[in-house]
Amino acid sequence: MTRIILNDHPTWALLPKRKGKTVVLLHGGLSSSASLLRVLGPSLSKQFALAAFDRRGHGRTADTDQPFTFDAMADETIAFLELLQRRVFLLGHSDGANVALLVALRRPELLKRVVLVGANYHYKGLMPMKEFTPESDGFGDFAREYAKQSPDGIEHAAVVVGKSAHLVKTEPTLTVTKLRTISVPVLVMSGDDDVARLEHTVSLYESIPESQLAVLPGTSHAVMKERTKESVRTIRRFFLDPVPPVTEYPLRRGDHDVTH
């Protein structure tokens, strides 16, 4: 764990400790890399080198005066991947999954495969949700947890919440036409009661040419925390098994060459 410079900004990062197959974890909004490392790290680290970084205004990385945008987050992620100097497996949750989508569109040569957990490619694809604001009941607890890591202190928690709320209401704005240009194998994964409408999640899966779909029953947006063993098993299988998968009765996939 160290501090690196990403696009001229000091950034907390976990760099891979060994060569070989590497998984880069992209955390969700109002969260940090610690959330994914705590849930997935113990299992995935047995077979993969792990890497992660805290985005601007999240975790142990200070914020800037700029608004949160997925394009800027994708720029950060691309800079991080270029720093690693290796093709990686990219796994994003929530906002991190939306960032991973943009990276797959812009720089597929940096990636082997991509896992999207709880993604939405358009902001209108989300379920109706109560807005989280500084007046919300749980804000005080969030602010105290935020301050334990953030260099910006507890008073900045309200700023980050405001930026995140604006992002959720206005981005992303991808189309199914754009999704059809993705050339990297993608696993679309969600809970059956996730933040994106189920039909939106299915359209994401059906729009990406080399994609697979995993909807875990009895789970929410916290699917990886709620069903950790199932989630890790599904993710690991997608990373390591042939793509496209060899099945008895392929219909959507048809006859394609298997790659590894």
Please list, in sequence order, all residues whose beta carbon lies within 8 angstroms of the beta carbon of residue 170, skipping any fewer than 6 positions away: 123
CB atoms closer than 10 angstroms to residue 242: 10
State in Å, rounded, how far the first CA of the chain is from the last one. Answer: 31
Cβ atoms of 103 and 184 within 8 Å: the answer is no
Separation of alpha carbons 175 and 253, rounded Å? 21
Q: Kindly state the helix (H) or strand (E) to which residue 97 belongs, with its residue range.
A: helix 95-106
Cβ atoms of 40 and 48 within 8 Å: the answer is no
The sheet with strand 2-6 has its strands ordered as: 2-6, 9-14, 49-53, 22-26, 88-93, 111-117, 186-191, 211-216
Separation of alpha carbons 106 and 128, rounded Å? 30
Separation of alpha carbons 201 and 34, rounded Å? 26
Q: What is the pLDDT of residues 217-236, one digit of tens each?
A: 999 999 999 999 999 999 99
- Give the CA distances from residue 251 to residues 97, 181, 234, in Å, rounded to whole numbers and listed in that order: 27, 21, 21
Please list, in sequence order, all residues whose beta carbon lies within 8 angstroms of the beta carbon of residue 66, skipping any fewer than 6 positions away: 56, 72
In the prediction, which pLDDT does 253 show? 82
Q: Kindly state the helix (H) or strand (E) to which residue 212 belongs, with its residue range.
A: strand 211-216
In the prediction, which pLDDT does 254 show? 65
Please list, in sequence order, all residues whose beta carbon lies within 8 angstroms of the beta carbon of residue 68, skipping any fewer than 6 positions away: 29, 56, 57, 163, 164, 166, 167
Which is nearest to 170 in space by CA: 123, 132, 125, 129? 123
In the prediction, which pLDDT does 255 show? 55
Residues of the chain with pLDDT under 50: 256, 258-260
